[in-house]
Amino acid sequence: MSKYLFTSESVTKGHPDKICDQISDGILDELLRQDPMSRVACETTCTTGQVMIMGEITTKAQVDIPEIARKIICEIGYDDGKKGFDGNTCAVLTALDKQSPDIAMGVDKSYELKNSEEDEYNLNGAGDQGMMFGYACNETKELMPLPISLAHKLAVKLTEVRESGELDYLYADGKTQVTVEYEDGVPKKVTTVVVSSQHSADVSLEQLRSDIIEKVIKATVPAEFMDENTEFFVNPTGRFVVGGPQGDSGLTGRKIIVDTYGGYARHGGGAFSGKDPTKVDRSAAYAARWVAKNLVAAGVADKCEIELAYAIGVAKPVSITVDTHSTGKISDEKISEIVDKVFDLRPSAIIDKLNLRRPIYKAVAAYGHMGREDLNVPWEELNMVDEIKKYL
């Protein structure tokens, strides 16, 4: 048998980069709530005592951006100076402009429409060039790779025991990591779990480690995946009192592997948070996940990776590539033909089919954008399985 290890990490919503993602997407949500046609490219950065929000926004909406940022920071758990960061008192700076007219002209009217190819989905061109990847596999119920699935669940549990008061000495910043051993491509066991959590200064390391092992790790990772050889590393440096933006600066879009598949699949490099759905970095990545998940659910393959590529201002993808990693029940070429028949992957079609011009983004800005069946996001729906099966 071929054995190998694979590791993925996640972070809690109090991680500095995730604070920034949530602020950017919280601003996007409020803009879309008031004006669904808002064009938004909003970046956030934070450090000790301050937040800066920058970018390009074109909208009819009227929003109080500093107030949105403060509310989100406090909701995350940074509402007291003793935690190193306080949304009530931190400085919030803004540096915002409108979308460049040179970019807007390609989004407003696609290359195809300019060349008299009139169609409702040729209205808008892609908001940028680039490639986006989507992935699905049959390792978990939500058709996600097991390492990132478990890492996210641990991060969620770490937040739950803090917010419920069960472990009231924990603060909002935290990270998780899971290593899974595979045999012939099938996950067999968890070999290592790493959890690091910010905490108050008056808790002992022994208590923290014992509590997190019992109430977070063992309460989350299925017992059948662990044995006496599974290693636990809890706050391995021994102390994590200084955390959040006081311990490390944060930036929107710096956790793109956490946001997707934990490194298990390829990534085109484009971040999601703070971008409206005309930006294919976001909408096409969601569409690629939707395609891959429906293909795997339809039994076409055990693993499926989709690459989409776009030219700025052009509606139709310049390429669509399917890779089933030799697990396809039919050839990748035939699967590509099915994708072309079943899915319209022009930006306007994606926005319409997935109903993306609405405030759904802040919720996915922490604990992953993919596999979020808990949020009923449209790119996780298995609504194209029957259509795919017609071509098998």
Q: What's the pLDDT score for residue 106? A: 66
Name the burial class of residue 68, with classes exposed (0-12), middle (13-18) and buried (19+) by CB atoms within 10 angstroms of its CB. buried
Find all residues with CB under 8 Å of 186, minimum gap 6, and list them: none
Find all residues with CB under 8 Å of 349, minimum gap 6, and list them: 121
Contact between 22 and 28 under an 8 Å Cβ cutoff? The reply is no
Contact between 199 and 240 under an 8 Å Cβ cutoff? The reply is yes
Mean pLDDT by 10 residues, the chain (392 residues): 93 98 98 96 97 96 97 96 94 92 72 71 83 98 98 98 97 98 96 97 96 98 96 95 94 98 97 96 98 98 97 93 96 96 96 97 98 97 97 90
- Is pTM beyond 0.85? Reply is yes
Q: What's the pLDDT score for residue 250? A: 97
Interatomic CA distance for residues 246 and 75, integer angstroms? 17
SS (H, E, C) 268-280: CCCCCCCECCCCH
Q: What's the pLDDT score for residue 354? A: 98
Q: How far is CA 64 from CA 24, 67, 69, 155, 302, in A?
A: 13, 5, 9, 30, 47
Find all residues with CB under 8 Å of 6, minimum gap 6, and list them: 145, 147, 179, 180, 182, 263, 264
Name which of 94, 126, 107 is nearest 37 in CA terms: 107
Interatomic CA distance for residues 158 and 173, integer angstroms? 10
Q: How far is CA 280 from CA 57, 139, 267, 377, 380, in A?
A: 17, 28, 13, 17, 17
Contact between 178 and 147 under an 8 Å Cβ cutoff? The reply is yes
Q: What's the pLDDT score for residue 1? A: 65
Interatomic CA distance for residues 121 and 368, integer angstroms? 29
Q: What's the pLDDT score for residue 385? A: 98
Interatomic CA distance for residues 358 and 29, integer angstroms? 7
Answer left, alpha or beta for residue 311, where phi above 0 means left and psi between -120 and 50 means alpha: beta
Size of the chain, expressed as the number of residues it contains: 392
Interatomic CA distance for residues 184 and 206, integer angstroms? 38
